[in-house]
Structure formats: structure tokens, C-alpha cells
Amino acid sequence: MADHPSRIELISSTIEDLSDLFRNISQPAYRSRQVFGWIHCRGIADPHKMTDLPKDLRRNLVDLGLSWPAQVGEVLRSEDGTRKLEMILPDGCAVETVLIPEGDKLTQCVSSQVGCSVGCTFCRSGHAGLKRNLTAGEIAAQVHLARVAHLPGERLRNIVFMGVGEPLHNVRAVGRACELLCHPQGLDLSTRRVTISTVGIVRGIDRLAQMTTGHVALAVSLHAADEATRRRLVPGARDTIADIVQALVRYPLPKRRRFTIEYVLVKGVNDSERAARQLVHLLRPIRCKVNLLPMNPHDKTDLLPPSEDQVLAFQKILVEKGVSAFLRRRRGGDINAACGQLLSVDSKGGR
């Protein structure tokens, strides 16, 4: 799936890119740092508001099309404080991003594609298939534009690529977005506070390991320890479980860091004691923790979550065998903002 074509997207540009551009329009290199700071630190993409820039440069930036490649649409607020924002893109497509508060700290769940080709059977996001990749600027814009929904005193602490799309099917744009968001002259987020979640795209994992963003946290959504069950739950997966585990074994995981294994529990499908023991055996070669997520019901599937007793029994087996296993608390379920409940809209309004 090709990236959406557009003119020069200054939001996706690094300081070095901007410096090259400004040299061509007879502007000093230090202006690139100023413009980058306005965009990625202050969250301002309107050249008219960049008050320490000369007027001719501001006019140049307007002519070059500097603006956010998205605008905020509907904003929904959950009873638990979670907020879901619709991000409307220039071609009429839209994705959703979610703010999850913990005290005065926020975790933001961002999208990486319009739709998804993986088609997990418990997930709304891939119901209509993949429409296109997001650009790095469209990804970064979600973070900056979501500031309108921050409450006084809140600050962004974590970013998780767990929204609409498979991040490693769009690894170049995702990697560039991480570079922009973690840049010391931007938001200066620690790479430890950025998590890329994938169903296990081996080529993408290997490529991520080679990128400058390779020290971001990596979460792998397995959902099963045997191929038949995984194919049922993740029909778009192309790599085998064994190949995914080997990719994690060779991944240059920093010391004192662990992978996160995401495991959505679905009633009668992957929640048995036998499935738990298979998972324990599978995970022995890698340093990891397991996040257990009882499936969040929605209108695109008849699948259901297990009972609380079944979930606790599954967790108990993992813990007794020495696997760190945690239950993920459901957030934003009343506004369809919980894991697996997000949707995207294509340019024709289809969901």
C-alpha cells in the first residue's frame, strides 16, 4: 500500500531537511531549528504565529503549505476520563486517537494507517480493510492536535502505536514520527516512553532494529501459541509464530528491558489452561512480560470475552510458571475507545 501522495509535508521534515530547504531559499540554517521547535515543541504549525521569524520567511512557509495535515473532528469523553478524538485528514479520510489519563500524566494511543490489512477477528479497526498509510506528519499531528483535549496540569508521558493500523506495515513513516516526537528540540520524549505494537511482522521487526528509533519499546500481539488458533484470530498474519520468536531473540533488546507480549483473551478460543501452558513454553527464549486483555466486545463481531474467573485462572498459570503477567484495565469502553474498538473512515465516508 503506497503512502498518500502530497506536496512537501514540512511537518514530516527533520531539522536537517529544513536546513537544506532553507538554504535553497536563502535562509540561514539556524532558522530550521526555530521552525522545528515551533512545530514539534510548541505544537504550532501556523507560520503567522511564529513571531520570531522574519515576515519573508513566514510568507515562504505559507507558500510551501506549512500547516497541520489533519484537523480535529468529534471529541468523545468517557466516564473514566479517557478521551477519543477523530482526526480528519486532507483527503477526507479519518482515524481516531485516544488520550488515557493516569493522574496528571497522559498516555496517547495513535494510529499509523487508515484501516488495517491484518483483520484480527476481535478488532474493529480492520473491518473495512486497509485504505492507505499515514505520513509521519499525519502521525505526529495526532499528538500535537490532541493538546486541545488536555486538561489543565496534564502532560503527555507515553505514546503507544496501538491505534488503527499495523505500525510495521508503515515502518518508515512510523520510525520518522518517533524521531520527530523524541527529538530533544521537539517534545523530547524518551524512547522508553514510546511503544510500537505489532502483530509480528518479521521484516518490520528486523528493520526497526536497524533504525535510530530501535530503542523504542516493542510490543508483540501474539494472541495464541499455536498456529491454528492464531490464524483464526489473526487471519492477515503472514509470519509463523516460530519466526516471530526468532526475530525477537535476535533483536538488540537493551539490557534491563523486556518485550511486551499482548494477548487478547477470547472466550472459548484461546483462554484454556492448555493455551496458557503453551504460551509459557513458547516464551521461554525471550525476556518479556505478558499483558492479558479480555476482549472488548463491539458491533463488528460475535466474539466475547472470557469470564473473570477464566481470565484469573489463565493469569495464575503464567505467574506460577515464572512469567510476569498483568491484566490490562479496560479504559474508554463506553465511547468505543478501548483496545480493539477504534475505527477509521475512508474518503467516501465508509467505516
Are the CB atoms for 90 and 321 separated by under 8 Å? no
Cell 484454556 belongs to which residue? Answer: 272
Specify whether 320 is catalytic: no
Specify whether 96 is catalytic: yes
CA dist., res. 182 & res. 122, Å (int): 32
Nearest to 6 by CA among 137, 130, 122, 114: 137
182: phi then psi, degrees, rounded to nearest 5 = -95, 0
Of 116, 120, 182, 339, catalytic: 339
Percentages helix, strand, coil for the chain, rounded to the nearest 5? 35, 20, 45
Long-range contacts of 60-63 (CB under 8 A, 24+ apart): 60/25, 60/27, 61/10, 61/35
Of 9, 86, 96, 262, catalytic: 96
Are the CB atoms for 58 and 48 separated by under 8 Å? yes
Residue type, 330: R
SS3 letters for 86-131? EEECCCCCEEEEEEEEECCEEEEECCCEEECCCCCCCCCCCCCCEE
Positions annotated as catalytic residues are 96, 339
